[in-house]
Amino acid sequence: MSPYSCDAAGDRARFDRATAHLDAPLAVVDLGAFDANAADLVRRAQGKPVRVASKSVRCRALLERALARDGFAGVMSYTLAESLWLARSGFEDVLLAYPSADRAGFAELAADPKLAAAVAVVVDDVAQLELIDAARPAGGGEEVRVCLEWDTAFRPLGGRVRVGARRSPLSRPEQVAALARAVTRRPGFRVVGLMAYEGHVAGVGDAVAGHPLRSRAVRAVQAAARRELARRRWEVVRAVRAEAPDLEFVNGGGTGSVQYTVAEAAVTEVAAGSGLYVPRLFDNYRSFTGRPAAVFAQPAVRRPGGGVVTVLGGGYPASGVAGRDRSPVPYLPEGLRYDPQEEAGEVQTPLLGAAADGLRLGDKVWFRHAKAGEMCERFAELQLVEGDRVVATVPTYRGEGRTFL
């Protein structure tokens, strides 16, 4: 039985029937699984709004589908160009969650009242304000809405150990408050939000199959990190509100930590995106179980010998620390694995296992990507499947000619 589905054989049959008229390579989003995952995120958010992380979706139609559900509100974008494009497309609440050096984009933002009202940009350094000011049109343009990002890394043993991503240079309440003060005193800017991403909790699985000792260690560290973070986040929010009392939102979390983050009174909303598609890196959590919604198919093109089938392409590694967990995983039919001498290849990928002997040339082998939205950088469109039918074909960002990174 598949660890991902209660009916793997049935899923394969559904996907094959739905796409029988289409040649692979192709990508599918199972709308039943997508909607179930969205409902589970809302359940775990316990009444606080979920902001959709666009980098983990990269398809306007599916961003709109998520936002049409009660419990979702706003988009968390990843580049300024994307933010402006979404705002021009009708998305009214866009938080750019990564600093930008896009001077042309800032000039456009400050020149357009509609864009300036829809987009908030993250900063963690006064120098970023100076960059925005230098890009402003003559006369100063519109007020720029600013979100301050601060660092959540856990630093036990007196700071001698660091657990967490290297993001903002601001970690202490007084540092964040000082930046808030600098923003409020600078004409043309307004502090509207705070954000902090606890990637060491939200993005690290705590139940890795076959590694019980490691999993227990991860859970212990994450529990200590959550306690420390909750105390510090409360202090940061209190310090910033003293400088900018009209904060509109305090954003935190991620798919893997939604239920923990919303328990903090200081948090007003959580971010999540990967939990909609549920890629393979999100199989290793005790606190929730999602349904794989996004998969892609590669065609069988060679039969090198018994127990071996070769598919076209498939070498779609995910970002992050290089390792086997960043490769897509052969999903359906069950029982296929990579040849350790080749792994996933640029233009062809041999797969081993008894299931290979049941595949004919042209048959589809279904894969799951390691991460969520990055799959969409490989495909121009997604086939949206309900049951065993394709009910729509929608473009990804790439299919709309948008490659923001």
pLDDT at 1 over 70: no
Contact residues for 21 (Cβ-Cβ < 8 A; gap 6+)? none
Nearest to 170 by CA among 122, 102, 119, 221: 122
Mean pLDDT of the 141-153 span: 94
What is the pTM assigned to this prediction? 0.92
Asked if residue 3 has pLDDT above 50, the reply is: no
Check residue 152 and give its pLDDT.
82
- What's the mean pLDDT when you consider all of the chain? 92
pLDDT tens readout for residues 25-35: 999 999 999 99
Task: Please answer whether residues 110 and 137 qualify as being in contact, where contact means their C-beta atoms are separated by less than 8 angstroms.
Answer: yes
CA pseudo-torsion sign 330, 380, 10, 37: positive
- Whether 367 and 277 have beta carbons less than 8 Å apart is answered as no
Tokens of 140: 């100063």
Please state, in angstroms and rounded to a whole number, the distance separating the CA atoms of residues 280 and 370: 5
Instruction: Please tell me the predicted confidence (pLDDT) of residue 286.
Output: 75
294: nearest Cα among 395, 367, 389: 367
Please write the tens of the pLDDT for every residue from 226-276. Answer: 888 889 999 999 999 999 999 999 999 888 889 889 999 999 999 999 999
Distance CA(357)–CA(25), nearest Å, equals 20
Question: What is the arithmetic mean of pLDDT over 281-299?
Answer: 88
Q: Are 210 and 197 in contact (CB under 8 A)?
A: no
pLDDT single digits (tens) 153-165: 878 777 777 777 8
* pLDDT at residue 4 in the model: 44
Q: At what angle do helices 80-88 and 103-111 cross, to 10 degrees?
A: 30
| Max mean pLDDT range (2-6, 163-167, 206-210) | 163-167
pLDDT at site 104: 97
- Looking at per-residue pLDDT, the higher value among 148 and 164 belongs to 148
